[in-house]
Amino acid sequence: MPQQPVVILGAGHAGFQLAASLRQHGFEGAVTLIGDEPALPYQRPPLSKDYLDGKIGLDLLLMRPEAFYRDHRIDYLAATRAEEIDRARKTVRLASGERLHYRHLVFATGARNRVPPLPGIELDGVAFLRTLADTDLLRERLAAANDIVVIGAGFIGLEFAAVARAHGKNVHIVELTDRAMGRVVSVATSRFFAEAHARTGVEFGFGAQAARIGGRVTSPMGSRVDHVELASGDKLPADLVLVSIGVVPNGELAAAAGLEVANGIVVDGELSTGDINISAIGDCAVFPCDHAGGHMTRLEAVQNAADHARCVADRLVGKAHPYSALPWFWSEQGKLRLQIAGLTQGHDRTVLRGPIESGEFSVFCYRGETLLGVESINRPADHAHARRLLAAGRQISPDEAADPSFDLRAAATTRPG
């Protein structure tokens, strides 16, 4: 069993979980966890919700307190960047020049915000939301803002919009496509969320493209954002602009080391790269996904990060198995709780369970007669059952899904796969 040094690049959900799982499974070798942010590893989901809102502080954001790393002999290197991998010598060169030897190297480098090439993107008052530092800055800006433009109606944009609106700010969301969260949810769910946000006073511009961000000179030192100009010529007043148009996987270091990178670091069904001494997990990894018909898939989700980490930890302690965990996701937008079980991309038919008007319903997404995934809105029991159902490879028919008297719980737990 290779109980020699494991070096983990990236200290987000995936990297942290791998380090923790290795120790939990009794891995005895050295474990080095390298992160490029100054703080201890922390949870990202609350950044756009309770942390942004000031409901929780850094202490509750941390994955574990400092003592955990000491007690579990996890060598955490904060504010540290890896610059180069030498696969022949099995070393990682850090920005400091120091070289670390690995027996096994894991890319958990995550993703970074996509920055559009918009004139004015560099202006003061243009913000992003992914890291703790992003959020600290955004929180300060939010307090002082009046007119906010959000570019991109994905999870992050909508979660932020809900918080901003609750603070009484004017919020206008500019979305290039014709609907909210279009990349990940069904039309029915998109529409429901857009209408719910609109009822709280959020304004939407669908099919709208930001052309430039305009500023005004505020000091000899620089300019502040003043408005967002759309391709249509319309100008939206803005003293804060959140750019939330998705992320780009961090695969450059892997590519430079000669590993295959194609919308993420390419790995096999056990999350190993083409080099048996190197794995990739979490947002940065593109893997053949059982729940997407075996297609190469890259997911941005805490579940995916943590389950990838557990799978690689198992392999490193000699219990290798193919990765097969069911993907699931969640988003909290004001009072709306969206939970998704499975991957619904490519569905051609949806079935509603529960009345949309009640605000508590699920959308069962099918391709033909095959259930791909389930979106639950304020209906957590459906989500819990759907996860169990899909994870076990069980199916229910569209008619059963639509029938309110159908016992989803029983189907999830007892029906043969």
Partner 1 sequence: MPRVTYISQDEKATTLDIDIGTSVMQAAVLNGVDGIVAECGGSCMCATCHVYVREDMLALCPPMDADEDAMLEGTASPRLPNSRLSCQLVVSAQMDGLVVRLPETQT
Among positions 2, 5, 45, 359, the unique one binding partner 1 when judged by CB under 8 A: 45
- CA 188 distance to own-chain centroid: 22
Number of residues that bind partner 1 (CB under 8 A): 33
Q: Name which of residues 67 to 86 contact partner 1 (CB under 8 A).
A: 67-68, 71
The reply on whether position 404 binds partner 1 by CB under 8 A is no
Under rule CB under 8 A, residue 310 binds partner 1:
yes
Q: Tell the smallest beta-carbon distance from residue 387 to partner 1 (Å).
A: 5
| Candidate list 1, 4, 24, 324; residue touching partner 1; CB under 8 A | 24
- Rounded to the nearest whole angstrom, what is the least distance from the CB of residue 61 to partner 1 in the complex? 8
Q: Of 167, 212, 295, 337, which lies in the binding site for partner 1, with binding defined by CB under 8 A?
A: 337
What residues contact residue 162 under an 8 Å CB cut-off, 6+ apart? Answer: 197, 200, 202, 332, 333, 334, 336
Pick from 138, 146, 147: which is nearest to 236 by CA? 147
Spatial distance between the Cα atoms of 386 and 394, rounded to a whole number of angstroms: 9
Q: What b/e string do you get for 74-102 counting C-beta neighbours within 10 Å, with b at 16 or more?
A: bbbbeebebeebeeeebbbebeeeeebeb
Q: Is 308 in the site for partner 1 (CB under 8 A)?
A: no
Of 55-63, 124-132, 276-284, 393-401, the segment contacting partner 1 by CB under 8 A is: 55-63
Residue carrying structure tokens 């509750």: 60
Q: Report residue 108 as tokens.
A: 């958990």
Asked if 381 interacts with partner 1 (CB under 8 A), we say yes
* CA-angle at 209, arms to 205 and 213, nearest 5°: 105
State in angstroms the smallest separation of the CB of 380 from partner 1: 4
- What is the nearest approach in angstroms of partner 1 to the Cβ of residue 377? 12
Q: How far apart are CA 295 and CA 269, in angstroms?
A: 11
Which residue ranges make up the site for partner 1 (CB under 8 A)?
A: 24, 43, 45-46, 49, 59-65, 67-68, 71, 302-303, 306-307, 310, 330, 332, 337, 339, 379-381, 383-385, 387-388, 409
